[in-house]
Amino acid sequence: MKPLHLLLGTALALTSGWALAQKAPESLLPPGFDEPAPKAQTPRTEPVRTPAPRPATSATSATSAAASPSSTATAVVQPIPVETAPRVSSAAVAAASAKLPSLEELERMTPEQLEEALDLRPKSDIPPAARRSMEQVGLLDQREGGLSPTSLAGQNASLVRAALAGNKGRLVSRWGHILLRRALASRLDAPTQMNPADFAALRAALLVRMGEGDAARALVQDVDTGNYTPDLTRAAFDAYVATADFTGFCPALALQGTTGGDAHWEMAKAICTVFQGDGTAGLAQLDRALNRGQQPRIDVLLAQKYAGAAGRARRAVTIEWDKVEDMTPWRYGLAIAVGLTPPAPLMRGADVRYDYITATAPMVGLPARAAAADRAGAAGILSSQAMIDLYGQIYAADDITGEWSERASLLRDAYVAAEPSARLGAMEQLWSGTADAEQRYARQVLTAYAAARLPVGPDLAAKASDLVASMLAAGLDANALRWSNEAELGSETWALLVLAAPARSQPVSSGSIETFRDGDDSEGTRKSAFLVAGLAGLGRISPEVAKNLAQGMEFDLARQTRWSRLIDQAAEVDNATLVALLAGVGMQGDSWAKMTPLHLYHIVSALNRVGLAAEARMIAAEAVARA
């Protein structure tokens, strides 16, 4: 009986132990972590004893030590040093408090003003791993047709700045414009003494002045907005305005919001505020600008109409042009962005750059773009293919009738009419239906590929000079040279071909040039002077022949200017990029009447020496064709 009682007692004890284990689970923390914190005691400073060095234990002693039972380790608590915080003077506290805005001021601030007041504005909007280098900023790699990336790295920064900033943007030559655009869009290292962002700003600003807003915008987009300098920010702003892309500039405004400072800058910030979702605050800013009356009313109203496209208010804004006396890039960009057409009388005396903007603006109607394409094509902004595509869209549009539809049909006939005479007749109608020489040359750009499709023969030889000029306007020199056998010695066709030919086995005789001069009916025999300058620059007449012919036409190719010495020195060191920039400086003007034989000679000669012979030949031929 007694053993039974013992067995029951043992079971009861085990059961109780299991129940207690369920009620109080064992802690999984290391020993000491689940004990209550000891009461704070005043630490006592004791002298630190430096232990005496002991000889290294051998492997045998280490093994025996590991086998022996370990003693209980005692935690060593090191006293925490107590440092006295530095005293802050009341003057420093007062100065810091004075910088902080009051609660009422904070409530009235916009999010951008609050970020600026509290220094919360981000310094970059791109993660560090995705940020781009400031080396070789540009669009065209050398393998894609760009110029040498290191060509300006060792050049004088003042010279490069002067060549870029001193160019007003409008060039007399279509091929000169194309070459300068190529140089500006190339991936280039900045001169060593120039900030790369400022170098990009100079290039973008010149592209805007040339009417190349799309290229300028693409160039500034190749630089992270966190790397913008004030000059690059301003150039980027002008590029976005020139392309009517006002919201595209908002990321730069978010990082460089205090750079601009003028009224248009502040209105752009208000537009961005609206498109970021805070329509009430953004429109209120524009309302205040309108009420203050410090800016032209038309500028603020156009900004309100643009911003209203994103706001919930959907307010009606009436645009009246009656009291507007001139056009500005801000007004024109906003007008076409909201679908408005400025009045024709206002645009009649406006700068040609608005035609350049119109020709490449996708939001403008096709007839308006075609009307602007005449100037844009002659300037070099539109290629022959781009003009053909534009008229192809007009031909395919059923809702476009009248003059533009007829012109598109004429262009189609110039390409696909059954008889060569019918194709030539269509081209002649396109060439003759123009108001001035610039438009006529643009139509020759338009018909370049149609002219290249015509068969060579005596039946069409009477119009060979126009056909050759049309082909060379698009760079079709190989097609143009097919007419060499039909070109009479001393004719204009002959003059264009001797300049455009890639190579020549023997020099051009002075007698044939004199024959050309005898039949030259251009003002001041300018065509003959340009022919001599072009042939001399290409090395196709001897220096002695060039000197004698120039003296007979009363100009001196040996005369030197500061510009001519600079471009000759750049050619001597084989710097194609610097030659292109200086050539752009020498080709400024609104017509070929502004070009001199001396400038043409140095431009053609320098380009020919630095490996840009094709551009040199096309510029020389264009000079004779358009003089």
Q: What is the pLDDT of residues 580-623, one digit of tens each?
A: 999 999 999 999 999 999 999 999 999 999 999 999 999 999 99
- Alpha helix positions (H), 397-491: 403-416, 420-432, 437-446, 448-452, 464-473, 477-480
Secondary structure class of 404 (helix, strand, coil): helix
pLDDT of 82 > 80? The answer is no
b/e per residue, 227-258, with b = 16+ CB within 10 A?
bbbebbbbbbbbbbbbbbbbbebbbbbbbbbe
Give the pLDDT score at 160.
98
What is the rounded CA–CA span in Å between residue 328 and residue 572? 42
* Confidence bin at 505 (pLDDT 50/70/90): confident
For the stretch 150-194, pLDDT in tens is 999 999 999 999 999 999 999 999 999 999 999 999 999 999 999
Of all helices (H) and strands (E), which one includes residue 108?
helix 103-108
* Averaged pLDDT for residues 96-115: 69
Residues 213-248 have pLDDT tens digits of 999 999 999 999 989 999 999 999 999 999 999 999
pLDDT reported for residue 88: 56
pLDDT over threshold 80, residue 511: yes
**DSSP 3-state assignment of 171?**
strand
Q: How far apart are CA 500 and CA 318, in angstroms?
A: 55
Q: What is the mean pLDDT of the chain?
A: 86
**Cα–Cα nearest to 585, from 162, 146, 154, 147:** 162
What DSSP character marks residue 125? S
pLDDT at 108 (0 to 100): 75
- Give the residues across from 588 on adjacent strands: 171
Between 41 and 258, residue with greater pLDDT = 258
- Which of 427, 359, 377, 370 is CA-nearest to residue 393? 370
Residues of the chain with pLDDT > 70: what percent?
80
User: Considering only CA atoms, which of 483, 499, 514 is closest in space to residue 623?
Assistant: 499
Please tell me the predicted confidence (pLDDT) of residue 133.
Answer: 87
Q: 359-418: per-residue pLDDT in tens?
A: 999 999 999 999 999 999 999 999 999 999 999 999 999 999 999 999 999 999 999 999
Distances (CA, A) of 507 to 323, 436, 512, 543: 62, 35, 11, 11
How far apart are alpha carbons 471 and 301 in whole angstroms?
Answer: 47
Q: What was the pLDDT predicted at 333?
A: 97
- Whether the CB-CB separation of 550 and 532 falls below 8 Å is answered with yes
* Residue 66 clears pLDDT 90, i.e. is over it: no
Q: Report, as an integer, the average pLDDT of 498-517.
A: 95
Cα separation, 432 vs 56, whole angstroms: 106
What confidence score (pLDDT) does residue 67 get? 41
Residue 122 pLDDT: 64
DSSP, collapsed to helix, strand or coil, labels residue 186 as strand
173 versus 276: which is more confidently predicted? 173
User: What is the rounded CA–CA span in Å between residue 599 and residue 563?
Assistant: 9
* CB of 613 closer than 8 Å to CB of 501: no
pLDDT band at 519; cut points 50, 70, 90? very high
Q: Which residue has the higher pLDDT, 232 or 255?
A: 232
DSSP string, 350-388: S-THHHHHHHH-TTS-HHHHHHHHHHHHHHTSS-HHHHH
3-state secondary structure 135-169: CCECCECHHHCCCCCCCCCCCCHHHHHHHHHCCCC
Strand partners, 21: none
**Which residues, other chains included, contact 158 with Cβ-Cβ below 8 Å and sequence gap of 6+?**
none
- For residue range 451-497, what is the model confidence (pLDDT) as tens digits? 999 999 999 999 999 999 999 999 999 999 999 999 999 999 999 99
pLDDT band at 51 (very low <50, low <70, confident <90, very high): very low
pTM of the model: 0.82
Percent of the chain with pLDDT over 90: 71
Confidence of residue 111 (pLDDT cuts 50, 70, 90): low
CA dihedral 543, 548, 554, 559 (to 10 degrees): 30
- pLDDT band of residue 293 (cuts 50, 70, 90) is confident
